[in-house]
Amino acid sequence: MKKGFIFDLDGVITDTAKYHFIAWRDLGTEIGVDVDLKFNEQLKGISRMDSLDRILAHGGKENDFTLDQKEALAAKKNTHYVELLQSLTPADLLPGVKEFLDQASTKGVPCAIASASKNAPFILEKLGVKDQFAGIVDPATLHKGKPDPEIFIKAAELLNIQPEEAVGFEDAQAGIDGIKACNMYAVGVLSGEPLHGADLTCHELTELNMDELLQK
Ligand code: G6P
Ligand code: MG
């Protein structure tokens, strides 16, 4: 019997993945690295600085910038990303998310957010669902990013349950790997690329039966 739900944010609750892509692509153009949609898949679930490192390595520019310059580039990307987020409203919740959260609340099943995004509280506020989460892991407190399971273990702690008592929802391979590494039940939310190792996959949360999930 499962006792809590743990959600990734980008690509699961809302489609901010497209804004991350636009912001990285434009930064890439500025520094001469081609960030296309296929390469962008490798940035999903990966922290801001680690994403920049992957982009620089992709363009063979890993030794071209000092740490200060890299921090300035990451800050520039984030400023652009946050500009793109300003237009978010509750209408930007992915299909079935609001209904799923409401149903969880009715059943008394607590929910938490396990996202590498430092913008998560702001995004949840814009989407009008922040109060529906009993906990949001602060990624600044993490030692390792996904695919390390640390963020999912912390999210379970915030809900006062064991990782194996939770269901985790993820759209990124790094996230599915992190969920499985702490023996959590993994629901993969597909958006194009296949996800390996998920216990169950769906295209949107409307396809899921909560009672069946809680019995897993
Ligand atoms: C999520 C996204 C990543 C993003 C990371 C950090 O995991 O999938 O693409 O790089 O959050 O987001 P932030 O908003 O802190 O730059
Ligand atoms: Mg994601």
Q: Is 10 a catalytic residue?
A: yes
Protein residues near ligand 2, an ion, with CB under 5 A: 8, 10-11, 171-172
- Residue 146 assigned ligand-binding role: yes
Nearest residue by C-alpha to atom 13 in ligand 1? 117
Domain positions in the chain: 4-14+91-215, 16-85
- pLDDT tens for 22-49 read 999 999 999 999 999 999 988 988 999 9
CATH number, span 4-14+91-215: 3.40.50.1000
Tell me whether residue 77 is annotated as binding.
yes
Which class is domain 16-85?
mainly alpha
Question: Residue 80: exposed, middle, or buried by beta-carbon count in 10 A (0-12, 13-18, 19+)?
Answer: middle
User: Which of these, 161, 156, 210, 202, lies nearest to 178 by C-alpha position?
Assistant: 156
Q: Specify the pLDDT at position 83.
A: 98
Instruction: List, in sequence order, the alpha helices (H) in the chain.
Output: 17-31, 37-40, 48-58, 67-85, 97-107, 120-127, 150-158, 173-181, 210-214
Per-residue pLDDT tens over the stretch 7-24: 999 999 999 989 999 999
Read off the pLDDT of residues 53-100 as tens digits, 9 standing for 90 and up.
999 999 999 999 999 999 999 999 999 999 999 999 999 999 999 999
From its phi and psi, is residue 188 left (phi > 0), alpha (psi between -120 and 50) or beta?
A: beta
From ligand 2's centre to the CA of 9, what distance in Å? Answer: 6
Q: Side chain identity at 92, as an amino acid letter?
A: D
ipTM summary value: 0.98
C-alpha to C-alpha distance for 50 and 45, rounded to whole angstroms: 10
Cα atoms in the Cβ-side hemisphere of radius 13 Å centred on 104: 27
Q: Are 120 and 9 in contact (CB under 8 A)?
A: yes
CA of 11 to the centre of ligand 2 (A): 5
Query: Following DSSP, what letter does each residue of 66-126 receive, concatenated?
Result: -HHHHHHHHHHHHHHHHHHHTT--GGGBPTTHHHHHHHHHHHT--EEE--S-TTHHHHHHH
Please list the residues that pair with 167 across neighbouring strands.
Answer: 5, 185
Answer whether 40 contacts ligand 1 (Cβ < 6 A). Answer: no
What pLDDT is stored for residue 76 in this prediction? 98
